[in-house]
Amino acid sequence: MTTIGWVRHGNTDWNAVRRTQGQTDIPLNLTGRAQARALAERFKNESWDVVYTSDLSRARETAEIIAKALDVPLYADERLREMGFGRMEGTTEEDRIRMWGEEWRTLDLGLESDESMVRRGTEIVKEICLRHPGQRILIVSHGALITAMLSALVPDRGEREHLHNTSVTLIRKRDEEWVCDLFNCRRHLDAINL
């Protein structure tokens, strides 16, 4: 049975101030690295075969810390990148209101569609499953992409919820359907008071 562990990358300085990152390549901060180490420590008590990651540095560094601790192969793929947020990238809510007004959400700011994210995400997930049938695979990616993919793969899972940095969501393939066994878990952070 194929299992995918979806992991959101660790914290960045832009996460801390709620600045939209999108595909802008922002590195982990010290907190993000500590989160990734705590997650790697958690995964040492579990069995994983391979790690895939977005090529953006915040996800890639999170994945590198995990893969090194587990001594498993690591592969990067740009299809696992965050949603492209167009002109919103680099802005906070206050910036957007100042630049475009209270109704900024109604404007065309060049955001990538959910359909585009799901298309590229589905493509790489299918390839990963073909390469690693019956294995346990970690995918380190980004909040919007993971949320969109979970809605596509496990549509009856329920409402969308904000994914925490380094949270873990486990899905497994049962026959031709995906089942969610764990959602947005961050118990590994309890040990480091984050």
Annotated binding residues for substrate: 8-15, 58
**Catalytic residue from among 64, 82, 89, 112:** 82
Mean pLDDT of the chain: 95
Percent over 70 (pLDDT), the chain: 98
Residue 51's contacts (CB-CB under 8 Å, 6 or more residues apart) are 63, 66, 67, 70, 72, 73, 74, 75, 137, 138, 139, 140
| Mean pLDDT confidence for 1-29 | 97
Radius of gyration of the chain (CA): 16
Segment 34-52, tens digit of pLDDT: 999 999 999 998 999 999 9
| Mean pLDDT confidence for 104-130 | 96
Asked whether the whole model's pTM tops 0.85, one would answer: yes
Q: Check residue 157 and give its pLDDT.
A: 73
Is residue 164 part of the annotated active site? The answer reads no
**SS3 readout for 110-139:** CCCCHHHHHHHHHHHHHHHHHHCCCCEEEE
CA distance to 14, 95, 102, 109, per residue, from 87 (Å): 16, 11, 16, 5
Q: Are 13 and 33 in contact (CB under 8 A)?
A: no
Is residue 82 part of the annotated active site? The answer reads yes
Residue 58's contacts (CB-CB under 8 Å, 6 or more residues apart) are 9, 10, 12, 21, 25, 26, 27, 28, 32
Nearest Cα residue to 105 out of 24, 20, 11, 15? 20
Annotated binding residues: 8-15, 58
Determine the length of the chain. Answer: 194
- pLDDT beyond 90 at 62: yes
Return the number of other C-beta atoms located less than 10 Å from residue 10's C-beta: 28
| Mean pLDDT confidence for 47-73 | 98
In order of their start, the domains of the chain are 3-192 (3.40.50.1240)
The number of C-alpha atoms within 13 Å of 75 and in the hemisphere containing its C-beta is 15
